[in-house]
Amino acid sequence: MKTHRMTATLIGAAYLFSNVTFILGAIIMVESILASPEYLSLLSANRAQLILGVLLSFANGLAYVGIAVLPFPILKRRFESLALAYVGFRVIEFITQILADISPLALLTLAGDASQAGAVQELGALLLAERFWAFQMLNLIFPLSALLLYAMLLRSRLIPGFISIWGSVAAALVLVNTVLGWFDPQLSESLRMVTGLPMLLNEVFLGIWLIVRGFSPSAPALEPARQLALEV
């Protein structure tokens, strides 16, 4: 039980770390620069901020993998295939996060070449488009992996059911808004906060819950493997 308590604490810390690094890195440090019409000139003037933001985004991607790997030994007792699929989804998320964060670094290199201003503008627009669609793929994979996780948590009763249901609904909202954005970008943009905030709050709440309370000690997934085999 001490091992499971430590695992729950680490997962909770990973959730909080992931959200903090994403908000600070991707949104505050990187996106605040790239969203400006004068982003190429801002890149050179804010080089340290951009690099630090990208590093924080990389750290966020590593947290994705940690959130999947840490509970795997527990979840695989009852959902081996689903638990393995969940790890796979999270690894793909990490790869997609890297693809999204390569663009700011490439833009930083281009911004220093003042002799090719026209070409730099065209390549910059291309790299921004690549970053946009990498995040679209990330926003597609993320809710699918979240739905998979919360289905396992709900059935295993490792955490209270209302957290799993809340997370499932929030993930579904993110998924619907992402797909909607491919057909109606303006409507999706106006709904982004409405659809994204429940997921953010759910992950923060889950992280705090796991740190403070841990897994439910009566959850079937925490029972000895031999006992589980007898039940099956």
C-alpha closest to that of 67 among 203, 214, 216, 230:
203
Task: Assign 38 to helix, strand or coil.
Answer: coil
HSE, CB side, 13 Å, CA atoms: give it for residue 27. Answer: 8
Angle of CA points 27, 30, 35, to nearest 5°: 85
Which tokens is 105 given?
A: 């670094």
Q: From 117, 125, 104, select the one nearest 37 (Cα to Cα).
A: 125
Domain residue ranges of the chain, discontinuous segments joined by +: 2-218
User: Residue 138 — φ and ψ, nearest 5°?
Assistant: -65, -40
pLDDT digits (tens, 9 = 90+) for 63-121: 999 999 999 999 998 899 999 999 999 999 999 999 999 989 988 888 766 556 667 78
Classified as helix, coil or strand, 36 is: coil
Give the integer Cα–Cα distance in Å for 169 and 203.
Answer: 13
pLDDT 10s per residue in the chain (232 long)? 567 899 999 999 999 999 999 999 999 999 999 988 888 888 888 999 999 999 999 999 999 999 999 999 999 988 999 999 999 999 999 999 999 999 899 888 887 665 566 677 888 889 899 999 999 999 999 999 999 999 999 999 999 999 999 999 999 999 999 998 888 888 777 787 788 999 999 999 999 999 999 998 877 766 654 444 434 4
Assessment of whether the complete model's pTM goes beyond 0.85: yes
CA distance 209 to 163: 10
User: What is the enclosing helix (H) or strand (E) of 180?
Assistant: helix 161-183
